[in-house]
A and B are shown apart, each in its own frame.
Chain A
Amino acid sequence: MRPTCPYCAAGGAHLVELSPTGTLWAWTSVNAPPPGYRGTTPFGFGVVELPEGLRVVARLTEADPARLSAGQPMRLAIVPLHTDDEGNDVVTYAFGPDRGDPTGEVGGP
């Protein structure tokens, strides 16, 4: 069954792949671990606007708000979070300053 569009309630929506690049729309840093989080702090946190007309909330690879600016190009990256009790590396998605590297290398510490 096709999903329902969460914006206009139309049925028959279909999934599309979104761009791995966008522009920075809002950003801050998280300086103390939020509930259920076992990774390091501080970490960057923000909203990236994608060319398809969506704004996405995500971690940012840059934790210093002063080093980011409105509208700057950002690129998707996979970043480590922590190692779980069974020794597995837990990762998540994040956006970082786009260095124009299509392999996905982004800026940040």
Chain B
Amino acid sequence: MSAVEIAGIGLHPFGRFPGTTVTDMGVVAVQAALAEAGVGRGGFQAAFCGTAYAGVASGHKVLGSLGMTGMPIVDVEAGCASGSAALMLAAGAIAAGQYDTVLVFGIEKMPKGIIRSSFFETWQEEAGLAATPAYFALRAQRLMQTSGVTKDHLARVVVKNRRHGAQNPDAMFRTEVGPAEVLESRVVCEPLHLFMLCTPNEGAAAVVLRRAEPSGAGPVRMAAAVLRSHLPGPVLSESTPLAGSTDDSVPAASSLAADDAFARAGVGPGDLDVVECQDTDAARELLSYEELGLCPPGAAAELLDSGATSLGGRLPVNPSGGLLSKGEPLGASALGQVVELVRQLRGEAGGRQVAGAKVGLAHTVGRGANAGVVILTR
């Protein structure tokens, strides 16, 4: 099996861009990544495009407008983990010797408000059961009932990530907020207030993956790119079932993905220097601490309280500002995390730099359920 390195990264900022098409945004990200990698037309043998809402052959539209078609172009949908799925396919193909260089990108242009998803049946929508934030709220409530997490902790996740995001010129929200401001924002679904939920938005991100030379040092390497789906059982998993079992011992999809990725990369949670994780809502970040093994079960509040996950702490989580600052363009989300980690591992992250970062983990989880974990090393 060959090692895989990241030869170039590119990003279109995340936000709202009236008049800019999803194809335009994809072009910006792809051109930047190809330029950095020094790759032009004919320089990559396959392309994988993560997107959930851009529509038929949307990857082809991006590469078509650049005159760079002919190779296999595969659009990949895996909900919020679409980009992780694209990365898994690309890295796997290189490792297996199928290709030398592969372009991976993610694009999305989401409307404002609660995401309308074909995942729900019409009768479920009519009955009000397509209320996605309500599922997040139920999960937040269970986390609060079964651990030391309080509403104050939820507010402080937002304060932390918005403080980080203020240092990220590519984020949608670049102003800091205080805990009172978070708790005074309107209640969407108790206990979740508006500022505790990420906003679906627009953006694109791209990376060029290349077979790595065996000799050690050099570009950032992709040590693992894993996608897993949920196991049957939990009623509040991102698979959004309408019923579930009472067996609370079933591991989450994110735990399956993390365990698999750590094994493949030959590192453990204790080796990580920086993490970008899925903070769809503030409680989701705390749950991710536990599911990724960053802390023992039930200790997420303690980890947050210790300051470890803030910039300057032992293991900064979401130095980019996370989805709470960047917003979430589904297909671009995972690629955006990887772009952030590459900048961190190269020491190019400016005011949000994690000093000396060598090992980073990116985590996405969403509808399906799909969970993706990517580990980068330098």
Contacts and interface: CB of A to CB of B under 8 A. Distances in A.
Interface in A39-95: 39, 43, 45-47, 49, 53-57, 59, 65, 70, 81-82, 90, 92
A25 B243 CA distance: 12
Nearest to A55: B235
Contacts of B235: 47, 55-57
Given A45-B138, A47-B236, A57 B243 contact: yes
A45 B245 contact: no
A55 B120 contact: no
Contacts of A70: 145
Given A31-B188, A36-B116, A38-B126, A26 B243 contact: no
Contacts of A29: 189-190
B121 to A, nearest CB: 10
Contact of B138 (A27, A39, A81, A90): A27
B267 interface: no
Contact of A34 (B123, B132, B236, B242): B132
Interface string A13-45: 000000000000111111111111111000101
Nearest to B140: A28
B134 A45 contact: yes
A22 B132 CA distance: 24
Interface residues of B, number: 41
A53 B235 CA distance: 12
Most buried by A among B122, B132, B141: B141
Contacts of B188: 31-32
A37 B131 CA distance: 9
B246 interface: yes
B243 A59 contact: no
A81 B141 contact: no
Most buried by A among B132, B188, B190, B245: B190
Interface of B: 114-117, 120, 122-123, 125-135, 137-139, 141-142, 145, 186-192, 232-233, 235-236, 241-246
Contacts, number: 111
18 contacts: A26-B139, A28-B134, A28-B138, A28-B141, A28-B189, A28-B190, A29-B190, A31-B187, A33-B128, A34-B128, A34-B132, A35-B115, A35-B130, A36-B116, A45-B134, A56-B242, A70-B145, A90-B126
A59 B127 contact: yes
Interface of A: 6-8, 25-39, 43, 45-47, 49, 53-57, 59, 65, 70, 81-82, 90, 92
B124 to A, nearest CB: 8
B233 A34 contact: no
Contacts of A47: 138, 235-236
B329 to A, nearest CB: 18
A37 B242 contact: no
Contacts of B116: 35-36
B137 A28 contact: yes
Nearest to B116: A35
A42 B114 CA distance: 16
A7 B245 contact: yes
A46 B131 CA distance: 11
A53 B236 CA distance: 15
B189 A49 contact: no
A55 B114 contact: no
Given A31-B189, A36-B120, A45 B244 contact: no
A30 B244 contact: no
A37 B132 CA distance: 13
A53 B246 contact: yes
A54 B232 CA distance: 12
Nearest to B241: A57
